Structure 1
Amino acid sequence: MKNEKEILIIDDDNKNIFALSAVLKARKYNCIAALSAREGLEMLAENKNISVVLMDMMMPQMDGYEAIAQIKNDEKLSGIPVIAITAQAMMGDREKCMAAGADGYLSKPVNVDELLILLNDLMK
Structure 2
Amino acid sequence: MTAQKQVLIIDDDTRNIFALRAVLRSRNITCLAATSAAEGLQILNNEHQIGVVLMDIMMPDMDGYETIAALRANEKNSTLPVIAVTAKAMVGDREKCLEAGADNYISKPIDVDELLIQIQQYLSK
| Structure 1 consecutive aligned stretches of length 4 or more whose deviation exceeds 6 Å | none
Give a deviation string over 1:64-90, Cα, whole Å, max 9, x none: 000001111211111210000000100
2-structure distance, mates of 1:13, 1:119: 20
Q: Secondary structure at the match of 1:8?
A: strand
Q: Does 1:101 align with 2:101?
A: yes
Give the 5 Å matches for 1:1-124.
Answer: 3-123=3-123, 124=125
Deviation, 1:122, is 1.5
Structure 1: runs of 5 or more not aligned:
none
2-structure distance, mates of 1:50, 1:60: 24
Give a deviation string over 1:5-45, Cα, whole Å, max 9, x none: 11000000000000000001000000110000010000000
Structure 2: runs of 5 or more not aligned:
none
Read off the aligned partner of 1:78 and give its amino acid letter: S
Percent identity between matched residues is: 59
Normalising by structure 1, we get a TM-score of 0.96
Q: Secondary structure at the match of 2:52?
A: strand
Normalising by structure 2, we get a TM-score of 0.95
Q: Secondary structure at the match of 1:76?
A: helix
1-structure distance, mates of 2:76, 2:51: 12
1-structure distance, mates of 2:58, 2:8: 16
State the number of aligned residues: 123
